[in-house]
């Protein structure tokens, strides 16, 4: 049955699921194939074309694809868990139920009005000088709100055994610098700026501001000045440029007019650490200077906006509606808000993800899945080690340290061995905004109390039900939560070829981040240290430059190109991960000849698994925001752009000169 005729996300989800009906299940979702397209010309649309044609982006989404479909399944499962949790005998489960109940009680939310943030509004109103501005910036940061100068806790990049306090620039109301700084003649960006000004005025008006339009104009001007100071996304991702340790004296010298003591006190940090790491020193100095030159009245209006904007989804309906209309509607193109219960579950996952994740794993994560994935991981590591040993472009000294790093890489599959403790967090079934502020401050304090202490290597950095994965360079670990180990990315009933092309390539992708243009700067222990020879650096740059040049040519929207340097690390990981997954799949065969299933060879199933793993589409607004600030390229290019470099893909589908997917050998990037 065609999904377009059903017209719902449920239908799309059904198309993504493959039943275990036969002994040999290809895993390929044949309903999604568009056989009118030649794979030699457009593998992305050959693999996904029917789905792209028949399944619309739901009105509550600005993008739709594999990850969103897995999210939908996880949300349904977590809804049942949350609805039963309030009456559980387990105290932590009751916290899940209380948070869910508080989100669903719209009457209580509307009745509370602005009372949950009254203390913060009063504190903002009392601001009188630049010291107060610094203190309020720290206070709002502690409450989990977005402020121009923010702190976070992570391992020290030069001493990865211990946690350090990092200072960083933060996001603004629009997705990136260009939204503020592009000329008015650029209609897309000019319209977004005008919409932002109206949005700020609307939120301030709802909060009782007597001059919302005047303050909105001043806030747009202030954010424009902050945008001028911000580092570009490529530079923000450079681990060496962003490592700038500062003593207390060094911070004062960096921003002599900024009261760092007041800032840290506002954040609840009684004693500033001996060393703080400044990610963007000139940005921090520039924002600090603005606290002295921009009128106090403007800063007060700005903090009111940041407070109300940050908590708007949890305030009465007009606030939540305005927040969605701008942030998801104007900026990213969504048409309607997701159902309330979905938003409730997403909040639970963000605030107390390990409490809900523990319940999720008990019900929905099979031990056999973990065992099967562990076996796949072993083959991937063996294949990667073999490949490093046989590289013809890397010097023996660098190879030895690469192998050491690979061997030291920790793998986390499914869920943590030790769950987080939320006993000290108070969550009430009738206080949504209060719950959010308390939970965000709880997490801030939990993190900041660890500065200077030994790093907890068992801790996970992603919610268990999240259909995503990560590599953390400072701890040299990869993690694959239970949420990502589900169909269609992982199908336990499918032939291995498809799963190696989808899940195997994803695992290989994260492994490869340890050796991409960013991760390769960290050693086996997670310390920022150059362990490459100069010759290896030069050859690596020469090879990866082909990816930069190739992706610079892609134009997802008229006049808007992909930034090849910005997406380089993810492209390296895509290419390397897929290459290693292919080698690991061949290794898994142990000399056996794989069967032809559904008329597809094992190699074809492998590459279809990869291509269907990136099924997705985006609204233009979302696509623009992606290419202006996200290190991932649009899905189409992550398939077609990457596959064109692999000889095994050319052989599997008979790609030859003249085909659109053909890339001459001299233009291919061979890295791992």
Mean pLDDT across the stretch 642-669? 97
**What is the rounded distance in angstroms from the CA atom of residue 251 to the CA atom of residue 669?**
43
Note the maximum CA span of the chain: 76
Mean pLDDT across the stretch 63-82? 95
- Identify the pLDDT of residue 272: 77
Q: Is pLDDT of 16 > 80?
A: no
Dump pLDDT digits (tens) for 477-521. 999 999 999 988 999 999 999 999 999 999 999 999 999 999 999
How many residues are present in the chain? 672
Sheet holding 470-472, edge to edge: 410-414, 477-481, 470-472
Q: Is pLDDT of 228 > 80?
A: yes
Mean pLDDT across the stretch 15-24? 42
Chain-centroid distance of CA 82 in Å reads 24
CATH: 1.10.260.40, 3.40.30.10, 1.10.1380.10, 1.10.760.10. Which one for 115-314? 1.10.1380.10
Strands 616-618 and 63-65, bridge-based pairing? antiparallel
**What is the rounded distance in angstroms from the CA atom of residue 479 to the CA atom of residue 383?**
19
Mean pLDDT across the stretch 547-565? 97
Domain boundaries, the chain: 25-55+365-420+459-667, 115-314
Domain 25-55+365-420+459-667 has CATH 3.10.28.10: no
Dump pLDDT digits (tens) for 138-191. 999 999 999 999 999 999 999 999 999 999 999 999 999 999 999 987 889 999
User: CB-based contacts of 281: which residues, under 8 Å, 6+ apart?
Assistant: 244, 246, 254
Dump pLDDT digits (tens) for 98-150. 999 999 999 999 999 999 999 999 999 999 999 999 999 999 999 999 999 99
Summary mean pLDDT of the chain: 94
* pTM, to two decimals: 0.92
Question: Within 10 A of 59 (CB to CB), how many other CB atoms are there?
Answer: 10
Q: How confident is the model at residue 271 (pLDDT cuts 50, 70, 90)?
A: confident
- Identify the pLDDT of residue 19: 36
- Identify the pLDDT of residue 22: 39
């Amino acid at each position: 049955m065609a999904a377009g005729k059903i017209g719902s996300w449920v239908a799309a989800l059904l198309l993504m699921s493959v039943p275990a009906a036969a002994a040999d299940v290809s895993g390929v979702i044949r309903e999604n194939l568009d056989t009118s397209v030649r794979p030699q010309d457009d593998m992305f649309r050959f693999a996904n074309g029917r789905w792209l044609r028949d399944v619309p982006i739901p009105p509550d989404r600005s993008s739709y694809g594999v990850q969103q479909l897995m999210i939908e399944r996880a949300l349904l499962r977590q809804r049942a868990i949350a609805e039963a949790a309030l009456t559980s005998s387990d105290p932590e489960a009751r916290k899940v139920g209380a948070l869910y109940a508080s989100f669903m009680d719209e009457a209580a939310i509307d009745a509370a009005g602005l009372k949950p943030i009254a203390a913060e509004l009063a504190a903002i109103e009392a601001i009188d000088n630049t010291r107060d501005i610094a203190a309020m910036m720290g206070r709002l940061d502690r409450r989990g709100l977005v402020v121009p100068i923010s702190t976070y806790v992570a391992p020290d990049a030069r001493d990865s055994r211990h946690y350090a306090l990092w200072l960083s620039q933060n996001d603004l109301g629009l997705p990136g610098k260009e939204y503020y700084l592009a000329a008015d003649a650029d209609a897309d960006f000019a319209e977004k700026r005008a919409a932002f000004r109206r949005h700020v005025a609307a939120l301030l008006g709802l909060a009782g501001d007597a001059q919302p339009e005047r303050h909105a104009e001043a806030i747009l001007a202030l954010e424009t000045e902050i945008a001028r100071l911000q580092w570009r996304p490529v530079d923000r991702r450079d681990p060496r440029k962003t490592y700038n340790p500062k003593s207390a004296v060094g911070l004062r010298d960096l921003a002599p007019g900024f009261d760092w003591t007041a800032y840290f006190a506002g954040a609840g940090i009684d004693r500033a650490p001996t060393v703080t790491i400044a990610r963007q020193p000139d940005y921090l100095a520039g924002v600090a200077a603005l606290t002295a030159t921009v009128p106090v009245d403007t800063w007060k209006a700005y903090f009111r906006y940041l407070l109300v904007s940050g908590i708007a989804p949890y305030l009465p309906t007009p606030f939540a509606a305005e927040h969605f209309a701008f942030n998801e509607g104007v900026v990213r193109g969504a048409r309607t808000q997701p159902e309330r219960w979905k938003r409730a579950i997403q909040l639970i996952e963000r605030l107390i993800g390990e409490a809900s994740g523990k319940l999720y794993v008990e019900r929905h994560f099979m031990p056999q899945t973990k065992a099967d994935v562990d076996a796949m991981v072993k083959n991937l590591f063996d294949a990667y080690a073999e490949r490093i040993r046989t590289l013809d472009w890397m010097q023996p000294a660098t190879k030895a340290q690469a192998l050491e790093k690979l061997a030291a890489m920790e793998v986390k599959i499914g869920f943590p061995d030790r769950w987080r403790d939320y006993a000290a967090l108070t969550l009430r079934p009738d206080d949504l905004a209060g719950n959010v502020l308390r939970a965000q401050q709880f997490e801030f304090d939990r993190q900041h109390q660890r500065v200077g202490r030994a790093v907890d290597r068992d801790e996970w950095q992603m919610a268990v039900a999240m259909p995503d994965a990560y590599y953390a360079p400072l701890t040299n670990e990869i993690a694959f939560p239970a949420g990502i180990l589900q169909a269609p990315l992982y199908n336990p009933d499918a032939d291995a070829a498809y799963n190696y092309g989808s899940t195997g390539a994803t695992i290989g992708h994260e492994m490869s981040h340890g050796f991409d243009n960013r991760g390769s700067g960290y050693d086996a222990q997670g310390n920022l240290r150059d362990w490459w020879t100069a010759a290896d650096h030069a050859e690596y740059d020469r090879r990866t430059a082909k990816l930069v040049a190739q992706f610079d040519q892609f134009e997802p929207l008229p006049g808007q190109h992909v930034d090849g340097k910005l997406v380089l690390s993810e492209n390296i990981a895509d290419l390397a991960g897929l290459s290693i997954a292919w080698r690991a799949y061949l290794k898994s065969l142990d000399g056996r000849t794989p069967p032809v299933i559904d008329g597809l060879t094992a190699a074809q199933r492998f590459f279809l698994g990869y291509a269907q793993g990136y099924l997705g589409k985006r609204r233009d607004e979302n696509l623009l925001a992606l290419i202006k600030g996200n290190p991932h390229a649009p899905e189409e290019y992550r398939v077609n752009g990457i596959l064109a470099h692999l000889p095994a893909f050319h052989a599997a589908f008979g790609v030859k000169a003249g085909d659109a997917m053909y890339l001459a050998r001299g233009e291919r990037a061979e890295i791992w």
